[in-house]
Amino acid sequence: MVRVEEIQKKIVGDLQDNFNNCSKDFTLNSVFCNYRTGAGLRVNKNIFNYMKKLYKYYSIDITYPTHITSKNIICLDNTLTMPWYIDYYTSMLNQKDELFPKIHLFGEYDAFLLKIYSGNLNLLN
């Protein structure tokens, strides 16, 4: 099994190698929102936009809860094995704009796991 630290270093290296005009911006702390040694694979929107040019990713609508809490973030951080990013999209439901969360996963296993649970984050606990 690949360790989180190795994944973090590889991604930072790949970003530096492929986007060398911005390489000064790619550090472990700037790439991972919740970086700490051996943990933390959540990325921000800018890094997600770079990473999706390099890696295959999977997008899954989060069906429950519709509002992501810090508890959900901690659970995802403890469960997911590859980088991930949560975004919100607008949908016209019941004739009013509502924001719905969507998770973008760079790990096949992570995507499979969330797909089995139909995007219900509460089932990850």
Domain boundaries, the chain: 4-124
Helix (H) or strand (E) holding 77: helix 70-79
> Which pLDDT score, from 0 to 100, does residue 52 have?
96
* DSSP single-letter state for residue 125: -
* Separation of alpha carbons 47 and 25, rounded Å: 10
pLDDT at residue 89 greater than cutoff 60: yes
* Separation of alpha carbons 102 and 87, rounded Å: 5
Q: What's the Rg (C-alpha) of the chain?
A: 15
The pTM of this model reads 0.87
* Separation of alpha carbons 42 and 105, rounded Å: 10
Backbone φ and ψ of 36, nearest 5° = -155, 155
pLDDT band at 117 (very low <50, low <70, confident <90, very high): very high
pLDDT band at 92 (very low <50, low <70, confident <90, very high): low
* Separation of alpha carbons 121 and 9, rounded Å: 27
User: What is the per-residue pLDDT across 9-47, written as a single tens digit (0 to 9) for each?
Assistant: 999 999 999 987 765 678 888 899 888 766 789 999 999
User: What is the per-residue pLDDT across 44-74, written as a single tens digit (0 to 9) for each?
Assistant: 999 999 999 999 999 999 988 878 888 889 8
Q: What mean pLDDT is predicted for residues 77-105?
A: 82
> Which pLDDT score, from 0 to 100, does residue 98 have?
72
